[in-house]
Chain A
């Protein structure tokens, strides 16, 4: 049993994925730490704009990812949750107990 655990540990990979872009107005990246993310999917339901999805990655682990369709528009799609007049607590960040999600802006 411990052998299996050890083996699993070695096979499981962790990486930091940055989804987003840089343009003349700034950096708009959502970063997901696959080591912390367990693919629970709470962030998917929490986001009113359905920015996130759960995928099976190259190493057969479930992990959250920013959907390809929205990755080039994050500044605008995340806009309603990020009013310039004062910060609001972000639903995606609050829904994630593992604190796997961070925003660059």
Chain B
């Protein structure tokens, strides 16, 4: 059987110390991304459970799969969820969503809830990269999105992993385990990465330094993106690449600040959506 280096396992998490039956509000956020989808359920103002699954070819199915996996074993049924907000690039295809909100607003909201001091959020997703600025109340003030090129996205790291036969979760640690500074790669393009990576390896550059070179290139590319809208502290990195310490450390070095990383960086969009759902539910109850 072929080994798939870019593969990752779907997973879910649920709290052990809270009883959902006593909660006043049960709201959910579903973030259907280009590569992965997340569902998160809030009971009152606490995270009750969440899941992270692969996005398939059908957004409605992915949304259902994420939600079912999050609710599995918790006793909560889909009907018990009072309000659901859909977000992410497949947000219009979440069948059970009461409302859709862009992932940009949701990321600002979610990151602000986790880290109230945050002013700049960098979301590095599967196929795009977003730089978001928010105010002291977690409201969007500026954003910039780059989805034209895969070079600043999680996909580029998956391709690199496939190319060099390195599991994608090992890329970060390996890129930091180097003896000297990596060479500069001339092209950040992942389509051309193969020939350049191979010629570096053939030229005697150790594997870890080649990996480091691509982490460096990605960090530089994203750095210019964020610089366009300006970086204000505190700084949060979300999305799958936040799990890659090689990229995170290099970005911190470029900006000269330490980044906040959530215990689960991929759920920030779904968390923001669930927070919006809670606010909308309360608003509809009061009118």
- The residues of A with any CB-CB pair to B shorter than 8 Å are 13-19, 21-23, 27, 29, 57-59, 71-72
Contact = CB atoms under 8 A, between A and B. Distances in A.
Interface residues of B, number: 18
Contact of A18 (B101, B102, B140, B143): B143
B147 interface: yes
Nearest to B188: A24
Contacts of B102: 57-58
A18 B146 CA distance: 10
Contacts of A21: 146-149
Contact of B140 (A15, A19, A23, A72): A15
Contacts of B225: 22
Q: Please indicate which of the listed interface residues A13, A15, A18, A29 has the most CB atoms of chain B within 10 Å of its own CB.
A: A15
B75 to A, nearest CB: 32
Interface in B126-179: 139-149
23 contacts: A13-B139, A15-B140, A15-B141, A16-B229, A17-B143, A18-B229, A19-B145, A21-B146, A21-B147, A21-B148, A21-B149, A22-B224, A22-B225, A22-B228, A23-B148, A23-B149, A27-B228, A29-B144, A29-B228, A57-B102, A58-B101, A58-B105, A72-B148
Nearest to A73: B148
A72 B145 CA distance: 11
Contacts of A58: 101-102, 105, 140
Contacts of A15: 139-143
Given A21-B146, A21-B149, A71-B148, 16 more contacts: A13-B139, A15-B141, A15-B142, A16-B229, A17-B143, A18-B143, A19-B145, A21-B147, A22-B146, A22-B225, A22-B228, A23-B148, A58-B101, A58-B102, A59-B105, A72-B148
Nearest to B139: A13
A74 to B, nearest CB: 10
B230 to A, nearest CB: 10
A14 B140 CA distance: 8
Contacts of B149: 21, 23
Interface in B170-210: none
Nearest to B221: A22
